[in-house]
Amino acid sequence: MPITKREVEKIAELAHLELTEEEKEQFTVQLAAIIAYVEKLNELDTTDVPPMAHAGRDERADYAQRDDVVGEGLGSELALANAPDPARGYFRVPKVIEEG
Amino acid sequence: MAKREEYEAVIGLEIHAQLKTRSKIFCSCSTQFGDAPNQNTCPVCLGLPGALPVLNREAVRMAAKAALALGCRINRVSVFSRKNYFYPDLPKGYQISQYDQPFSEHGEVEIDTAERDERGRPLAWRRKRFRIRRLHLEEDAGKSIHDGMPDSDRASYIEFNRSGVPLIEIVSEPDFRSSWEAYDYMQYLRQALQYVDVCEGNMEEGNLRCDANVSVRRRGTATLGTKVELKNLNSFRFLQRALEYEINRQIEVLETGGEIVQETRLWSEAEGRTYVMRSKEEAHDYRYFPEPDLPPLVVSEEWIEEIRRELPELPNHRKWRFMEQYGLSIEDAATLTSTRALADYYESVVRETGDPRTSANWILSELMGLAKAAGIEPFASPVTPTKLAGLIRLIAEGTISGKIAKTVLEEMFRTGQPAETIVRERGLVQITDAAHLEAVIRRVLEANAAYVEQYRAGKEKLFGYFVGQVMRETQGRANPQLVNDLLRKLLMGG
Ligand SMILES: [Zn+2]
């Protein structure tokens, strides 16, 4: 898949990143190189290999699950300790106008 | 609108139901509603760096109960995925959900549905099947507060008690052809989730939420129209009204030569209309990918079958059985099966009285009236099924009249005493002694000699007056049938 400047702009927008023109050019080249490298994997024949969602895939049912027991959390004071602008027990952020 | 009949609506629903686990889906924070803001939080549900999710097995179990209750097939292996988007109440920048390998799929429910007249009364009930595309597990986001604070014009407030609460998202196929079909389905879903005990179903507290996709097309055409997404349908009434409004709006647009725009609209109950939600120009691109911090969710066939065996009789089947077995109307059966506890209560009463019709009447008209006035559920009142059956037995045996029984029930409701005790202590036993009653009636007739004359001269509606007087004399304890017979005899003969 060839990477164009348009792709880079879209990815940057989705990531809320503002890139300069030079950065866009630079990342287009770099991303294209990374994709080309990963595409080497397509040279392998994977006809009989089922898709793998996770490296640690384990076929056991109930694997790595926890019981429904309430534990000690941080509590609101500690949760807000590093918040830049807490107020009334909440995280306060600049007004959000967009929904969803 | 004459044109209305030429169109049909195509509606699909996405319902989010909060599972009633004690702790969150990927961490051990409490799911308690109404605690102080940010009280129930930890590094996992705050999205702090390095925190790792671990799946709550009870959430999986509850999702399975819901899936089986809705006829879904549970996938032996499902995969959690990250749904990426930016919003302040989503601390990780992604929601852990399921995408291309969901927990369960291909469900179907068969339910009763009816169009309603302008006063909301059901017209003809009919059974219809609605398909469910998928039911998957995901986590809830936090809560944003945009209004009501002193600086709400320039700040939003965020709290994360809800972040990481387990949800199931239930996506229907676009099988609904009217707002009432969608309404009846939503009601059924809530009821089924309550029957299998996995969701409180309280829309006010937000543990059941609904979005809809709506389009309209000319009847008889197979192609789908452009669909509009409706959000904010957070009560049954809103859902029905918003769908109705949106269907009419789309028909109006098409009829005036316009085009439907694919967009998201919000329902405003205050204004009684939908309006376009402000949104980004670019379409959402969630860039789903498998969640690397969670292994695939694997379940065994034996486990699925174990859960299937634990399922209770589901509300639709129980309703239909009540209609068939007890000869109840669809409305009465629906009310009595509205919750599992009420249906159990009713069946306990029937087991003791052997009289399904009378038992239903006493619960539906009297007990539910008292419970409603007291603000409690009928099955939670001090009148246990055995006690209500005791009251019904006293009526059947002729010990008390139906009228007195109402007074006795009120007393039972207040004090929790058995009917027998109340009747005995308050001397409410019905007078069925004909000689005794005849004496009372003679006294009444003598005291009302003028009316007796008028009655005999043809003013027959005075009969009710005499009955009333006899009842007054006996504090309502006289057997009504006997009073009627004796009165008639004495008035005729003298
Ligand atoms: Zn937590």
pLDDT given at position B2: 53
Enumerate the H helices of B294-381 as residue ranges: 301-310, 315-326, 330-336, 340-353, 356-361, 368-374
Residue (of B319, B180, B159) closest to B244 by Cα position: B180
Q: Given an 8 Å threshold on Cβ–Cβ distance, is A67 in contact with B149? A: no
Q: Given an 8 Å threshold on Cβ–Cβ distance, is A87 in contact with B231? A: no
Q: Given an 8 Å threshold on Cβ–Cβ distance, is B22 in contact with A70? A: yes
Residue A56 inside a domain? The answer is no
d(CA B158, ligand 1 centre) in Å: 15
Domains in chain B: boundaries: 4-302, 313-425, 434-493
Measured in Å, how far apart are chain B's first and last C-alpha atoms?
A: 67
Distance CA B479, CA B395 (A): 11
What is the rounded average pLDDT of the residues B228-234?
A: 86
pLDDT in tens, B24-45: 999 999 999 889 999 999 999 9
pLDDT given at position A57: 57
Residue A52 inside a domain? The answer is no
Residue A1 or B381, more confident: B381
Q: Enumerate residues 6+ apart whose C-beta is below 8 A from B460.
A: none
Q: How far is CA B122 from CA B12, B179, B280, in A?
A: 22, 13, 41
What phi, psi does B220 have (nearest 5°)? 90, -15
The full length of chain A comes to 100
- Residue A35 and residue A5 in contact, taking contact as beta carbons nearer than 8 Å: no
pLDDT given at position B56: 97
Sign (positive or negative) of CA dihedral B459, B464, B470, B472: negative
**Would strands B7-18 and B80-84 be described as parallel, antiparallel, or unpaired?**
unpaired
Residue (of B172, B173, B247) closest to B8 by Cα position: B247
Indicate the average pLDDT of chain B: 90
A69 pLDDT above the threshold of 90: yes
Residue B457 or A34, more confident: A34
DSSP string, A16-44: T----HHHHHHHHHHHHHHHHHHGGGGGS
What single letter denotes the amino acid at residue B435? A
**Would strands B104-113 and A90-94 be described as parallel, antiparallel, or unpaired?**
unpaired
Q: Given an 8 Å threshold on Cβ–Cβ distance, is B22 in contact with A53? A: no
CA atoms within 13 A on the CB side of B35: 15
d(CA A70, ligand 1 centre) in Å: 10
Query: What ipTM goes with this model?
Result: 0.86
Scanning every residue of chain A, which has its alpha carbon at the shortest distance from the alpha carbon of B62?
A: A68
**Of the options 1.10.357.10, 1.10.287.3510, 1.10.10.410, 1.10.1760.20, the CATH number for the domain spanning B434-493:** 1.10.10.410
- Residue numbers of the domain that contains A16: 5-41
Q: How far is CA B379 from CA A88, B364, B388, B407, in A?
A: 41, 12, 11, 19
Residue A14 or B302, more confident: B302
Distance CA B300, CA B297 (A): 10
B196 pLDDT above the threshold of 90: yes
Q: Which of A37-46, B7-16, B385-394, B425-434 has the lowest mean pLDDT?
A: B425-434
Enumerate the H helices of B120-261 as residue ranges: 179-195, 236-255
Distance CA B151, CA B448 (A): 78
pLDDT in tens, B78-132: 999 999 988 889 999 999 999 999 999 999 999 999 999 988 899 999 999 999 9
What is the rounded average pLDDT of the residues B299-313?
A: 95
d(CA B91, ligand 1 centre) in Å: 12
Share of chain B above pLDDT 70, in %: 98
Tokens for B388?
Answer: 């209500």
Our count of domains for chain A comes to: 1
Distance CA B395, CA B386 (A): 15
What is the rounded average pLDDT of the residues A29-57?
A: 84
A2 pLDDT above the threshold of 90: no
Cβ of residue B275 closer than 8 Å to a chain A Cβ: no
Share of chain B above pLDDT 90, in %: 56
Binding-face residues of B in 417-476 toward A, CB within 8 A: none
pLDDT bucket at B3, cuts 50 / 70 / 90:
confident
Residue B321 or A97, more confident: B321
d(CA A73, ligand 1 centre) in Å: 6
Cβ of residue B157 closer than 8 Å to a chain A Cβ: yes
Alpha-carbon distance B310 to nearest alpha carbon in chain A (angstroms): 19
Tokens for A18?
Answer: 């503002």
Q: Calculate the CA dihedral of residues B343, B348, B354, B356 and round it to 10 degrees.
A: -20
Alpha-carbon distance A43 to nearest alpha carbon in chain B (angstroms): 22
pLDDT given at position A61: 64
Distance CA B152, CA B144 (A): 11
Scanning every residue of chain A, which has its alpha carbon at the shortest distance from the alpha carbon of B151?
A: A95
Sheet with B273-276, edge to edge strand ranges: B73-74, B104-113, B126-139, B166-172, B7-18, B208-218, B228-231, B264-268, B273-276
B351 pLDDT above the threshold of 60: yes
pLDDT given at position B283: 54
Q: Enumerate residues 6+ apart whose C-beta is below 8 A from B406.
A: B366
Q: Enumerate residues 6+ apart whose C-beta is below 8 A from B350.
A: B326, B356, B359
DSSP string, B389-442: HHHHHHHHTTSS-HHHHHHHHHHHHHH---HHHHHHHTT---B--HHHHHHHHH
Residues in chain A within 8 Å Cβ distance of B298? 58-63
CB count within 10 Å of CB B169 equals: 19
A97 pLDDT above the threshold of 80: no
Residue B433 or A45, more confident: A45
Domain of A32, CATH number, reads 1.10.20
pLDDT given at position B488: 86
pLDDT given at position A99: 45
CB count within 10 Å of CB B77 equals: 15
Question: Residue B264: beta bridge partners?
Answer: B229
Scanning every residue of chain A, which has its alpha carbon at the shortest distance from the alpha carbon of B153?
A: A95
Q: How far is CA B39 from CA A70, B33, B36, in A?
A: 13, 11, 6
pLDDT given at position B281: 45
Tokens for B464?
Answer: 């009710």
d(CA B55, ligand 1 centre) in Å: 12
d(CA B22, ligand 1 centre) in Å: 12
Cβ of residue A50 closer than 8 Å to a chain B Cβ: no
Residue A88 inside a domain? The answer is no
Residue (of B37, B55, B33, B23) closest to B296 by Cα position: B55
Residues in chain B within 8 Å Cβ distance of A65? 54-57, 60
Residue A97 or B431, more confident: B431
Distance CA B443, CA B473 (A): 10
pLDDT bucket at A98, cuts 50 / 70 / 90:
low
Nearest-by-Cβ selection for A70 from B23, B41, B279: B23
Residue B478 or B15, more confident: B15
- Residue B272 and residue B238 in contact, taking contact as beta carbons nearer than 8 Å: no
B147 pLDDT above the threshold of 90: no
